[in-house]
Amino acid sequence: MKRAKPLDSKPLTARQVTSRGLGAGAPRLEAAGPFGNGPISALPNANLTSENKQVAVRIGDLFLQNPVLTASGTFDPFTYAELVDLNRLGALVLKGLTLQPVLGNKPPRIAETPAGLLNSIGFQNPGLEGLLRDILPRLKDVTVPIIANISGDTEEEYEELASRLNHLPEVAALEVNISCPNVARGGMVFGTDPEVAFSVVSRVRRVYHKTLIVKLSPNVTDIAAIARRVEAAGADAVSLINTLLGMAIDVRTRRPRLGNVTGGLSGPAIRPVAVRMVWQVARAVRIPIIGMGGITSAEDALEFLLAGARAVGVGAANLVDPRATMEIIEGLERFLEEEGIKDINELVGAVRV
């Protein structure tokens, strides 16, 4: 999708809105921007701190107390900290970041579909300086790993951003979003060509020395081939899937429901596709997989683990139920207890085919 123009104005604030949630009629919490006002701290509830080593997993050099991460762009920590204990998460993945601030696409940016959500946000973010100035200082009480998600128009932008983030102790890992148009190659998405994906990940790997996760696009012919090349380039893990390209039309106005015409489809509608792709990639690479795509319950998360994922990302479900991540963590712990399973890693790739 076409990247929106850079933003010169000050960071936006977060707000709560109530609207129809993913076809379920539930209240939805939506962040208007990547942050709110003032510092935050985790909710004080010692009983929620996970001491249960049964659910601990490792991704690269990251030790996660449980396998549940937030999916980038769906979980504003400053809003959600009022409702969940951030330190109960496996890891906190921040909204996508670019070198310079970006305003994003013109509205409408969101359109609901049956069992799903189309979005065309357009990489809206405050840029690297905004992250350093306005976001990281207010996350000082977060004790779980913080993962920065990065995007770029060129390989040079990815490399520079990774190099500057490499020295930040607050950032434990990078998730490299290669579902972006490559301006130097006429707008071709980095993640749709195995050799282009290899090239950009190699450049990031040269300058970034902590855990490197590469987020894969599902809008490809052979996702396993892309995964193999980013593994060869030095990725410590892959996360998948990103959103599927989709479109919705208002039949009364005969106009697209999104201002950008097309957008990324997420939510339960894409889960079977995501599970299938995780299973395919798990058979092709040795590095850990973070599975995502329509996860709304512990049972959904378990599907991904059985298919070969070692951890999962929860995205659109956060917009329907702000406590979705907490309920999934608790559900996984109950499942292990009920099934008499001593270590959640025993389930990884354990599907019987």
**Could you give the residue numbers annotated as active site?**
180
What is d(CA 69, CA 71) in angstroms, rounded to the nearest whole number? 6
What is d(CA 78, CA 81) in angstroms, rounded to the nearest whole number? 6
Cis peptide bond N-terminal to 27, omega within 30: no
189's tokens: 């998405």
Question: In whole angstroms, how far apart are CA 39 and each of 71, 136, 313?
Answer: 22, 10, 25
Going along the chain, which residue ranges are E strands?
A: 57-59, 62-64, 68-70, 92-93, 110-113, 116-119, 146-150, 173-177, 181-182, 188-189, 211-215, 237-240, 244-247, 249-250, 255-256, 262-266, 289-292, 311-314
Between strands 181-182 and 188-189, the pairing is antiparallel
318's tokens: 């956060």
What is d(CA 346, CA 199) in angstroms, rounded to the nearest whole number? 34
Dihedrals phi, psi of 299, to nearest 5 degrees: -65, -40
- Is 245:218 a contact under the CB 8 Å cutoff? no
Q: Which amino acid is at 182?
A: N
Question: In whole angstroms, how far apart are CA 129 and each of 71, 136, 321?
Answer: 22, 10, 31
- Is 51:333 a contact under the CB 8 Å cutoff? no
Dihedrals phi, psi of 285, to nearest 5 degrees: -130, 165
What secondary structure does DSSP assign to 53-113, as a single string? GGG-EEETTEEESSSEEEPTTS--HHHHTTTS-GGGSSBEEPPPB-SS-B--PPSP-EEEE
